Amino acid sequence: MDSGGGNGGAWAGEARRVGTAGVRALALALMGLPGALVCFVLSVVSLALIPIGVGIVTTPWVLTGVRALAGTRRALAARWGGVTIPASYRPLPAGANPWTRTFGMLGDRATWRDLRWLVVDMTAGFVLGVLAFALVVYPLEGFVLAAGLWTVLPDPYWYGFVPVSGPVSAFAAAGLGAVLLVVARYGTPRLLRGHLLLSRALLAPGEGELAERVRVLTETRRDAVDTSAAELRRIERDLHDGAQARLVAMGMDLGTIEALIEKDPAKARELLGQARRSSAEALTELRDLVRGIHPPVLAERGLGDAVRALALRLPVPSEVTVELAGRADAPVESAAYFAVSEVLTNAVKHAGADRIWVDLHHADGCLRIVVTDNGRGGAAIGAGSGLAGVERRLGTFDGVLAVSSPASGPTMVTMEIPCELS
């Protein structure tokens, strides 16, 4: 009896497994056909409207919907079949204008993969989903026919290739249903997995994109190494020409004082005062040097207070808004701090701004910093304003930089760095 109960439980578990696979396959089919069809039609129409300007506004919204649909499929693939489908969209800075967002998304290979997936999902994907569900449901019709349904149906009623017109043919239909049920046991879960693997084949990044990703990471790493080497040379130069020179001079003064302390006390006192001033100047230079390497306020109080301290030293009024629930990793904070410092320097030196606003917040796994000034505008990456260096600094952490700066101003510089807060 225990063996029979165990077999019954096993059969029930197997039936649930196959039935669940069939229902999930049907859900993917019914979810995919209208959703993929609507998204595809809207995408085609929106892209066609780009030349007249309307598509510039609508395309980012439509493609965002396509990405959301693809993201839902990725989540279901992982949950229902253990199929991981990585997403590799290029980050778009928050606050970018519609033109930048439209052509940024269209320049992303992942966008065209999504559109290709829509076509396949509403055709081959729909067929696979319906077929997987039909393999579960259709055998049940054969059993119902054998139970007496054949008596109220037209004569003959075709079930598959069996013409049902009497009890014998009805039992033959039940036999065919049993065979199809065996096929469903093995076929339905495989069809569901095939559906999910088809989505992965279309949505996952290809080798070319991975190679491009490696190339970008290699370049940003090389830039980081070059920047670090240049920074070390700057520190060495500043030490040699500044604090070191003053300390050497102070040592020579002390030697002279030692020789004059008995012969000419007045001259010795004068040299002592000079040595004291040299020591104070050397200490100031060392503090400035340390602040340039890693500001103490950044290490002790975090990015928000460090940026506030930067703003307080500006010669123009500034307003800093900080919404950070924790702290990012030290390298990320350092990169963000010096990036903000460079942008603020540009606003003061080149933009002629008399008011600056800085906003720092963390959302959706990204640290976002927006620096706005009311200067003359015209800033551009690579135009000698130092923004190219900021872009390279952020790129080391997969960060992005966006600049909106019309000729008459204002200028808005948006920086994003993917990170988590502690």
**Do 343 and 413 contact (CB within 8 A), yes or no?**
yes
Residue 320 sits in the same domain as residue 347: yes
Written as six digits, the tokens of 284 are 């100031």
Q: Give the count of domains, the chain.
A: 3
Residue 33 sits in the same domain as residue 134: yes
The whole-number pLDDT of residue 114 equals 92
The whole-number pLDDT of residue 1 equals 43
Element (H, E) at 403: strand 400-404
Among 114-123, 296-305, 360-369, which range has the highest average pLDDT? 114-123
Residue 349 sits in the same domain as residue 275: no
Cis peptide before 156 (omega within 30 of 0): yes
Residue 363 sits in the same domain as residue 413: yes
Residue 277 sits in the same domain as residue 316: no
Q: Other C-beta atoms within 10 Å of 342: how many?
A: 18
Residue 9 sits in the same domain as residue 122: yes
The whole-number pLDDT of residue 347 equals 83
Across 13-22, 40-49, 112-121, 248-257, least confident range: 248-257
* pLDDT top residue among 220 and 281: 281
Q: Is the pLDDT of residue 119 over 90?
A: yes
Ramachandran region of residue 377, left (φ > 0), alpha (ψ -120 to 50) or beta? left
Give which of 358, 366, 363, 331 is closest to 413, Cα–Cα: 358
The whole-number pLDDT of residue 44 equals 93
Residue 249 sits in the same domain as residue 199: no
The whole-number pLDDT of residue 48 equals 92
Residue 307 sits in the same domain as residue 397: yes
In sequence order, the 6+-apart residues with CB closer than 8 A to the CB of 187 are 132, 135
Residue 241 binned pLDDT confidence (cut-offs 50, 70, 90):
low
The whole-number pLDDT of residue 86 equals 83
Of 261, 293, 325, the last residue of a domain is 293
Instruction: Give the domain range for residue 196.
Output: 2-205
pLDDT in tens, 362-372: 887 888 898 98
Rounded to 5 degrees, φ, ψ at 105 are -70, -40
pLDDT in tens, 303-340: 888 889 888 888 888 899 988 888 888 888 888 888 88
Of 293, 326, 346, the last residue of a domain is 293
d(CA 395, CA 332): 11
DSSP state of 206: -
Q: Is the pLDDT of residue 416 over 90?
A: no
The whole-number pLDDT of residue 47 equals 92
Residue 217 sits in the same domain as residue 357: no
Farthest-apart Cα atoms in the chain, separation? 136
Give which of 359, 340, 347 is closest to 399, Cα–Cα: 340
d(CA 357, CA 210): 38
Across 67-81, 326-340, 365-379, 382-396, least confident range: 382-396
Residue type, 138: Y
Residue 22 sits in the same domain as residue 157: yes
- Percent of the chain whose pLDDT exceeds 70: 81
The whole-number pLDDT of residue 102 equals 87
What's the Cα-to-Cα distance from 415 to each of 33, 157, 302, 370, rounded to whole Å? 38, 69, 18, 6
The whole-number pLDDT of residue 120 equals 92
Q: Is the pLDDT of residue 188 over 70?
A: yes
Q: Other C-beta atoms within 10 Å of 337: how many?
A: 21
d(CA 17, CA 136): 11
Residue 164 sits in the same domain as residue 30: yes
Written as six digits, the tokens of 65 are 């919907």
Residue 149 sits in the same domain as residue 43: yes
**Do 90 and 108 contact (CB within 8 A), yes or no?**
yes
Of 205, 231, 256, the last residue of a domain is 205
DSSP string, 291-327: HHHS-HHHHHH-HHHHHHHHHHTSSS-EEEEEE-SS-
